[in-house]
Structure 1
Amino acid sequence: MIYGYARVSTSGQDLANQLAQLKAAGCEMVFREKISGFTIERPQLKRAIGKLEPGDVLMVAAVDRLARDTRDLLNILHEVREAGAGFRSLAEPIVDTTSELADIVIAVLGIAAKWERGRIRERTAAGRARAREQGVKFGRKPKLTPHQQREALERILAGEPQRAVARSYNVSQSTISRLTP
């Protein structure tokens, strides 16, 4: 049986392209996840590997959809082999664990995927820095307006308990405690 595994990193991304590729390649069942490849805990991947029997194949649209870390990739492929199954990547046709050359190619691709992850981090950091320079604010909006924050701080400095001040604004005591110098 041919099983597929499709993964995207964020909820804003779409699995449709990977699913279409895997179905067209003959996958009878596709396990799907919206979780970072950088995370080791991927329940659907574990389910897919758990279903593998001798002679089965686990297929992905691209190696970077399976793992972005060389050790993680090699560990996953070891589990696939332990089940007696094979592995194929559609984007990298040379990656087929039924050949002896595949081990070398997979190791090289794992390293390339790890480098790509580093480049993604660099681009993301540069984008955040540009956004900050343009005045974009990150994080959640404060629960209290600047006026409410000043007012709450005045009340605390006047001796009113933090818990009472927090209750009056319908926020947690920790929100109020962060206002104090």
Structure 2
Amino acid sequence: MILGYARVSTGGQDLAQQLVALEAAGAGKVYREKASGANADRSQLRRAIGALDPGDVLMVTAIDRLARDTRDLLNILHDVRSAGAGFRSLAEPLVDTTSELADVVIAVLGIAAKWERGRIIERTAAGRAQARAQGVRFGRKPTLTPIQEAEILRRLVDENPRPTQRAIARSYNVSQATISRLIERAKA
């Protein structure tokens, strides 16, 4: 029996193309997962490998759908072989784990997948840097507006008796830690 494994990295991505390709190639059952390939602990991949019987084949559309790291790839293929099954990639038809040459091809493809992962990280970092340069702010939106921050700092200096951080925090419906961080930023 041929078991397929389809994976995308995020919930916003779609498995449809992989599913069509795997089913067209004869996969009787396809395990679907939305998880990063950098994460070695993927529940659906473990289920697919656990379901393999001797003589079965685990099929993916491309090796990078299975693993992004050479060590991870080799560990997964070891588990597949331990089950007495084979492995096949649709995008890399030379990869057939029943031949000795496959070990060399798989190692080279694993290195290529790791290299591509590094390139993706570089492109993502460059995109973030460009967005920052264009004024995009990342992270949570500030709890306090700049006007509220200025008002709080003024109150801490001008009011007599001087209000406590806790009292100010309550009046703005924020934590005392938020007020404390604001004071520290103002001192810097």
- Do they fold alike, i.e. is TM over 0.5? yes
Output the amino acid matched with 1:116: E
Question: CA 1:31/1:173 → structure 2, altered by over 3 Å: closer, same or farther?
Answer: farther
Match of 1:114, SS? helix
Question: CA 1:30/1:173 → structure 2, altered by over 3 Å: closer, same or farther?
Answer: farther
**1: CA distance, partners of 2:8 / 2:136:** 26
**1: CA distance, partners of 2:105 / 2:87:** 13
Match of 1:180, SS? helix
Alpha-carbon displacement from aligned partner over 1:49-94 (angstroms, at most 9, x marks no partner): 1111111111111000111100000001101111111111011011
TM-fit CA distance, 1:130 = 1.6
Question: CA 1:107/1:144 → structure 2, altered by over 3 Å: closer, same or farther?
Answer: same
* Equivalent residue, structure 1, for 2:89: 89
CA RMSD of aligned residues (A): 1.7
State the percentage of identical aligned residues.
75
TM-fit CA distance, 1:154 = 4.2
* Equivalent residue, structure 1, for 2:113: 113
Alpha-carbon displacement from aligned partner over 1:112-161 (angstroms, at most 9, x marks no partner): 00011111111112212222222222222112211222333444566434
Question: CA 1:155/1:67 → structure 2, altered by over 3 Å: closer, same or farther?
Answer: farther
TM-fit CA distance, 1:15 = 0.8
* Equivalent residue, structure 2, for 1:15: 15
**1: CA distance, partners of 2:163 / 2:40:** 48
Match of 1:3, SS? strand
* Equivalent residue, structure 2, for 1:64: 64
* Equivalent residue, structure 1, for 2:37: 37
Moved more, 42-51 or 125-134: 125-134
TM-fit CA distance, 1:98 = 1.5
Residues 1:167 and 2:170 aligned together:
yes
Q: Which runs of 5+ in 2 are unaligned?
A: none
**2: CA distance, partners of 1:160 / 1:152:** 10
Matches within 5 A, 1:91-170: 91-155=91-155, 159-170=162-173
**2: CA distance, partners of 1:25 / 1:126:** 38
**Match for residue 177 of structure 1 among 160, 180, 184:** 180
* Equivalent residue, structure 2, for 1:75: 75
**What is the total number of aligned residue pairs between the two structures?**
181
TM-fit CA distance, 1:44 = 1.0
TM-fit CA distance, 1:174 = 3.0
Output the amino acid matched with 2:79: E
**1: CA distance, partners of 2:117 / 2:78:** 22
**1: CA distance, partners of 2:79 / 2:134:** 47
Instruction: Calculate the TM-score normalised by the size of structure 1.
Output: 0.91
Moved more, 50-59 or 106-115: 50-59
TM-fit CA distance, 1:171 = 2.9
Instruction: Calculate the TM-score normalised by the size of structure 2.
Output: 0.88
